[in-house]
Structure 1
């Protein structure tokens, strides 16, 4: 793997840490800005909304920009947004910061995948993508907990400044180490959108949405399920999240190695395992051994499906900026829908186990979404980009 791939991964690590670290400092930020904890939760929603809506719009503006220059530009935009958060004296300014960083993050994912596809041959694209998404996995295991710890030890602004400096360093490293790629052929948004006429691409998007939606319907409510249903102590919850995070890292290493050769088998097996784990979790939520096993399998078969998911999207629609940024937006939308529907089910009185059943329904829908491809009905519709 070219070292530049690891530089891209570092940038994604910084951006993902920024996305989730607010969750670990909700009470502190609520006291700082004089708002409710639920209002601080909207800061996370704002980041996701920026990724879903703003990311594709910013990508459209960068279509004819050389990929390296586009990436550096996005690093600069993200840095400005993170800097605004570090110096924010009001809730409104912090909200602006989150929207800017969310927009830049979404576009950066798409550009990173496009650059990685240009740096490696077709048979190693899945592995390259797994390294980039490794930054996301490590951010959930190490980055977010480290930011939370630093916020408690040195204040929340320290964490924001630390991420800002780290993303600046990743940008400077990228400027030096990412090779100058050939300038993309002049194109228009209308031409770029032609890729979206491919039914195989939309089928790939749908499966990605369902996998991530199923995973985050459950993951978003792990903590209360662990303590209120399973009976784990509050002190053991961080350890359980570390176990889950370690499983995602291991799963990502496995799928990254195999995605190029076994794309569809990985997606099929992953969705079946995810369905079985969610079913076992829902039925055995009061049994610690069952819960631990289910959490490990969800970690292995949920988010680590990203390499085969991205490989499928690239084969169906190419490695263009819009194709990959829209994929990032759809995956983020899956996070929002999965967690939101799970929360609505709890609010409706169905209990903490309800998100697990929601996740199971989405995972089973994901299996069904693969059936046309597996049975050969849609293969003629999929145009593989060589």
Structure 2
């Protein structure tokens, strides 16, 4: 795996740290800015919305740029947004800063995944995606506590400055190690948009939204469930959350290895396991051994399905950056949808276990969207290709992202 792919993963790490940094600093930010905690909370929701909507729009504007240049533009815009956030005199400018960094994050995911696949070659597309997406897992496990520590120790503005410096550093590394990537047949706006005329692509997107939504319906409320229903102490809860994060890193690596040859089989096993584990968690929430098993299991088979989801998208359409960016938007909407619906269950009076059962129902819906592929030869032959369309999309994507298209700049 080229070292440049790991550097792209570091870029994702920096951006995910930015996405989550507000979470642990809400009271301090609310006090200094003179607004309610709920208004600070909107900065998280609007960031996700900017990722989902602004990301594809920004990616479309950058399609004609070579991918390394597109990455440099995105790093520059991201640093600008973080600096604006650090210098914000009030809530309004901070909101603008979050919208900028959110849109950049959405576009960056798509460009980084497409670049990683082009660098590594189509035969290890899922593995390359898992390396890049490991930045997402590491950002959740390490970036959030780091940003929160800096914010609580040195003020929330310092957290923005540190993330900006981190992005500058990773941007410089990217400029040094990522080679020039020749434009492929999918870099034109027309050819990228043409991929969305394939109805199967939208069906594949729906699976991604539902699988990630099911995971986040439960994950968003792990802390209150563990504290108030399982009745675990604060230290134990923290330890379990770190264990969950470690499980996501391990699961992401394993899925990346498997999904290059058996994307559908890997997804099927993962979604079925997720359904079972959420049900076990819901039934035995008061029994710590079962809870520990279920929680770590969800870490292994929840968000870690991302590499397999990416491989399935590639088997249905091209591996272009716009297709991947819209896929990222669908995943982000799954995060928003899952957290929102899980909260609705609690607000409706069904208790803190409700998100677990809601997550199980959403996971079942995700499994149903997989049925056409499961019932076809694709689930058993080990191919990533959409079973109704043969292997042509994969062949085209492989041709467009051939490693022969990768050259270093001579000037």
TM-score over 0.5 for the pair: yes
Q: TM-score range by the shorter chain?
A: over 0.9
Q: CA deviation at 1:72?
A: 0.7
Could you tell me which residue of structure 2 aligns to residue 153 of structure 1?
153
Could you tell me which residue of structure 1 aligns to residue 79 of structure 2?
79
The answer on whether the counterparts of 1:65 and 1:184 sit within 8 Å (CA) in structure 2 is: no
The one of 373, 388, 395 aligned to 1:380:
388
Q: CA deviation at 1:289?
A: 1.3
* 1:319-358 correspondence to structure 2 within 5 Å: 319-358=319-358
The answer on whether the counterparts of 2:187 and 2:320 sit within 8 Å (CA) in structure 1 is: no
Deviations 1:150-205 (A, max 9, x none): 21222212211111100011111111110011134586534322111223322221
- What's the secondary structure of 1:381's corresponding residue? coil
Could you tell me which residue of structure 1 aligns to residue 362 of structure 2?
362
Q: Determine whether 1:140 maps to 2:140.
A: yes
The answer on whether the counterparts of 1:66 and 1:184 sit within 8 Å (CA) in structure 2 is: no
Q: CA deviation at 1:94?
A: 1.2
Distance in 1 (CA, whole Å) between partners of 2:262 and 2:131 is 17
The answer on whether the counterparts of 2:186 and 2:192 sit within 8 Å (CA) in structure 1 is: no
Q: CA deviation at 1:317?
A: 0.9
Q: Which moved more, 1:370-379 or 1:312-321?
A: 370-379
Q: CA deviation at 1:345?
A: 1.6
Distance in 2 (CA, whole Å) between partners of 1:211 and 1:357 is 14
The answer on whether the counterparts of 2:186 and 2:318 sit within 8 Å (CA) in structure 1 is: no
Could you tell me which residue of structure 2 aligns to residue 36 of structure 1?
36
Shift in CA distance, 186/245, structure 1 to aligned 2, threshold 3 Å? closer
Could you tell me which residue of structure 2 aligns to residue 98 of structure 1?
98
Could you tell me which residue of structure 1 aligns to residue 298 of structure 2?
298
Deviations 1:241-276 (A, max 9, x none): 101100000101111111101211110000011001
Could you tell me which residue of structure 2 aligns to residue 126 of structure 1?
126
Q: CA deviation at 1:139?
A: 0.8
Could you tell me which residue of structure 2 aligns to residue 68 of structure 1?
68
Spell out structure 1 runs of 4+ moving beyond 6 A: none
Q: CA deviation at 1:66?
A: 0.9
Could you tell me which residue of structure 2 aligns to residue 8 of structure 1?
8
Distance in 1 (CA, whole Å) between partners of 2:186 and 2:307 is 29
- What's the secondary structure of 2:388's corresponding residue? helix
Paired residues in the alignment total 386
Deviations 1:299-323 (A, max 9, x none): 0000110111101111211111211
Deviations 1:336-368 (A, max 9, x none): 000011111211211111111110011111111
Q: CA deviation at 1:376?
A: 1.6
Q: CA deviation at 1:234?
A: 2.5
The answer on whether the counterparts of 1:199 and 1:381 sit within 8 Å (CA) in structure 2 is: no
The answer on whether the counterparts of 1:226 and 1:237 sit within 8 Å (CA) in structure 2 is: yes
Distance in 1 (CA, whole Å) between partners of 2:169 and 2:187 is 32
Could you tell me which residue of structure 2 aligns to residue 225 of structure 1?
225
- What's the secondary structure of 1:118's corresponding residue? helix
Distance in 1 (CA, whole Å) between partners of 2:20 and 2:186 is 36
Distance in 1 (CA, whole Å) between partners of 2:270 and 2:358 is 17
Shift in CA distance, 227/186, structure 1 to aligned 2, threshold 3 Å? closer
Q: Determine whether 1:192 maps to 2:201.
A: no
The answer on whether the counterparts of 1:200 and 1:381 sit within 8 Å (CA) in structure 2 is: no
